[in-house]
Amino acid sequence: MKQTIKFIIIFIFIFATREAFAMSSANYKINADVIGASGALGSSTNYKLNDTLGESVAGIGSSSNYKIQQGFQYMINTGISLTVDSDTKNLGSTTPGSLVQGQSTLQVTTDSWGGYDLLISENHSMLHTDAVTAIADYACAINSPCLWSGSGFGFSIISGSDVEEKWGTDPDYKYAAVPLSDTVFHSKTGYTSSADETVVGYNVSPTATQKAGTYSNTILYTALAKL
């Protein structure tokens, strides 16, 4: 009778905006400021626009004592949301020494003009229900993913907007280990008017001597709006 191995990934996901710079002291705090001659909300049947004229000192300024975002545009609040197609991903079963694959679809919606970053981390390596036996993380790292070879648990970006070249293309996707601490694995630059989709693929290949049973871990996805 063949021994089988089953894989389950449980997801957690959060979203947040980057912290805006502000100028402050014990007596005051300025979140954002502007020096402008005019400006207002303009609209027609085809558009709406918040603008300002005469911003002579707009931009990000800093020194050893302060950081400040100056200008009308920096005063506009942005939002971001992140969804994953499933909170739990059952990758199915395989026999020791064989490969099993799966994927998740992430959708980010944000009105941030700077785009967003996607981060990933795991709580531990894919672990057996005995709480001792694990499947090793894949040998390559996010900063230098590589073609799949050998054994382990790794991930890649299968499709999305502005996917970095380092992740490869079909059929030569490149894979990396999921790190233990939050790490940026994909960045999207610029404004997107609707939900932006990224498909993440998973490879799990236990060794031929891997203990049979059920293995699982938790992956945390984070989306950060870029100001």
Domains (ranges, CATH) in the chain?
5-18+79-225 (2.60.40), 23-75 (no CATH)
Average pLDDT for residues 198-225, to the nearest whole number? Answer: 95
How confident is the model at residue 136, as a pLDDT? Answer: 96
CB 13 within 8 A of CB 221: yes
Handedness of CA 24, 27, 29, 35 (dihedral sign): negative
User: Residue 26 is encoded by which pair of tokens?
Assistant: 């014990």
Q: Note the pTM of the prediction, 2 decimals.
A: 0.76
Which tens digits make up the pLDDT trace of 23-56? 567 766 565 565 566 666 666 766 666 666 656 5
Q: Position 144: which residue type?
A: S
User: Residue 174 is encoded by which pair of tokens?
Assistant: 């490149």
Residue with tokens 């785009």: 115
Identify which has the larger pLDDT, 7 or 42. Answer: 7
How confident is the model at residue 190, as a pLDDT? Answer: 84
**Cα pseudo-dihedral 48, 53, 56, 61, rounded to 10:** -20
Please list the residues that pair with 104 across neighbouring strands.
Answer: 200
Q: Position 172: which residue type?
A: D
Handedness of CA 139, 142, 144, 149 (dihedral sign): positive
Identify which has the larger pLDDT, 130 or 32. Answer: 130
Q: Say whether pLDDT at 1 is over 50.
A: no
How confident is the model at residue 194, as a pLDDT? Answer: 86
Query: What are the angstrom distances between the C-alpha of 32 and each of 19, 62, 158, 168?
Result: 13, 13, 39, 41
R_g of the chain, CA atoms, integer Å = 23
Confidence of residue 2 (pLDDT cuts 50, 70, 90): low
How confident is the model at residue 39, as a pLDDT? Answer: 61
Which tens digits make up the pLDDT trace of 72-125? 555 555 688 999 999 999 999 999 999 999 999 999 998 887 899 999 999 999
CB 82 within 8 A of CB 223: yes
CB 110 within 8 A of CB 80: yes
Which tens digits make up the pLDDT trace of 134-167? 999 999 999 999 999 999 999 999 999 999 999 9
